């Protein structure tokens, strides 16, 4: 039996989402508003020549730049109404950021539960909130994973990226095992992802074309892309967590080979 590839997981996702797209879009959108959608699909990094950066900084006339900024601020007439509006928007964004930080963990558990159940054909919107009774556990998981990834990133960018992938199954494991200790779930995720980090990276990177196309739709395409990625990741989780994945190669018709049929067997 050949090992599943990115296209295989995408195939599973499309099959499971068939007839459930509306529900999946709504569920993922609400999860995103509550901070439950992981932002880790493909990470890019750039190497910076520090000597060139230093030379560029030396060429900048910082005194002139400061004077220009002060002149602009003195000449711009800011109305009280505009300042009030900016203050209200800033307050709303601050409250929302705090809310997503607090609600993100348990919401992420719920979204993982939704997609795990989607693989079984048992998905429903209410699953998004099914783990709110484990609120503290979800919050702690998000906090600890965030801290661990941050600490690894302090060593260097690459270790941070690698460990980010090592921890990505944490919320799926907690959704499947809500009574499990958070640290045990994190350790299990590291164990589960051993030898699979590159595979998950390739799966997430395979959506880059769709992400670029979504950018041309002013983000509307992301409403459909996000649940697509989440469903494919859930299929990936089910496979590496021990669910049997049967791949039956489709026959070649003419010069075009049909995509393999994939069945996830519980």
Q: CA–CA separation, 157 vs 45, rounded Å? A: 8
Residue 154's contacts (CB-CB under 8 Å, 6 or more residues apart) are 160
| Weakest mean pLDDT among 52-61, 78-87, 235-244, 250-259 | 250-259
Please list the residues that pair with 248 across neighbouring strands.
261
Average pLDDT over residues 220-228: 92
Cβ contact 225:163 at 8 Å: no
Residue 1 pLDDT exceeds 60: no
Cβ contact 229:207 at 8 Å: yes
Helices marked H in 156-246 = 157-166, 170-176, 182-193, 197-205, 208-215, 222-240
pLDDT in the model for residue 76: 54
Which of 1-10, 41-50, 208-217 is the most confident on average? Answer: 208-217
Better pLDDT: 52 or 9: 9
Residue 166's contacts (CB-CB under 8 Å, 6 or more residues apart) are 189, 190, 193, 194, 197
Of the candidates 163, 172, 179, 149, the one whose C-alpha atom is nearest the C-alpha of residue 231 is: 172
pLDDT in the model for residue 62: 54
User: Is 236 strand, coil or helix?
Assistant: helix
Q: CA–CA separation, 206 vs 229, rounded Å? A: 10
pLDDT in the model for residue 156: 82
pLDDT in the model for residue 38: 76
pTM (predicted TM-score): 0.74
Q: Cα dihedral sign for 35, 38, 44, 45?
A: positive
Write out pLDDT tens, residues 118-169: 999 999 999 999 999 999 999 999 999 999 999 998 888 888 889 999 999 9
pLDDT in the model for residue 263: 39
pLDDT in the model for residue 262: 37
pLDDT in the model for residue 73: 55
pLDDT in the model for residue 84: 83
Burial class (CB in 10 A: 0-12, 13-18, 19+), 100: middle
Cβ contact 1:220 at 8 Å: no
pLDDT in the model for residue 242: 77
pLDDT in the model for residue 60: 57
Residue 226's contacts (CB-CB under 8 Å, 6 or more residues apart) are 28, 29, 32, 37
Write out pLDDT tens, residues 38-83: 754 433 333 444 455 455 556 555 565 555 555 555 555 556 777 7
């Amino acid at each position: 039996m050949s090992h599943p590839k990115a296209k295989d997981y995408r195939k599973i996702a499309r099959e499971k989402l068939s007839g459930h797209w509306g529900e999946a879009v709504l569920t993922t959108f609400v999860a995103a508003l509550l901070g439950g959608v992981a932002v880790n699909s493909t990470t890019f990094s750039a190497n910076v020549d520090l000597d060139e950066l230093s030379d560029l900084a030396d060429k900048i006339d910082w005194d002139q730049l400061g004077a220009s900024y002060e002149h602009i601020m003195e000449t711009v007439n800011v109305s009280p109404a505009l300042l009030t509006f900016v203050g209200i928007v800033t307050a709303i964004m601050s409250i929302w950021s705090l809310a997503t930080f607090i609600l993100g963990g348990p919401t992420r558990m719920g979204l993982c539960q939704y997609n795990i159940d989607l693989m079984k054909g048992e998905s429903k919107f209410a699953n998004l909130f099914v783990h709110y009774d484990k609120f503290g556990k979800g919050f702690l998981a998000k906090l600890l994973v965030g801290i661990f990834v941050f600490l690894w990133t302090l060593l260097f960018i690459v270790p941070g990226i690698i460990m980010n992938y090592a921890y990505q199954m944490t919320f799926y494991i907690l959704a499947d095992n809500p009574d499990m200790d958070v640290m045990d779930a994190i350790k299990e995720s590291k164990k589960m992802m051993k030898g699979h980090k590159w595979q998950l990276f390739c799966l997430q990177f395979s959506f880059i074309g769709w992400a670029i196309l979504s950018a041309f739709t002013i983000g509307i395409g992301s409403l459909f892309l996000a649940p697509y990625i989440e469903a494919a990741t859930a299929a990936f989780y089910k496979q590496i967590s021990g669910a049997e994945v049967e791949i039956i190669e489709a026959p070649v018709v003419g010069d075009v080979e049909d995509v393999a049929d994939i069945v996830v067997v519980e």
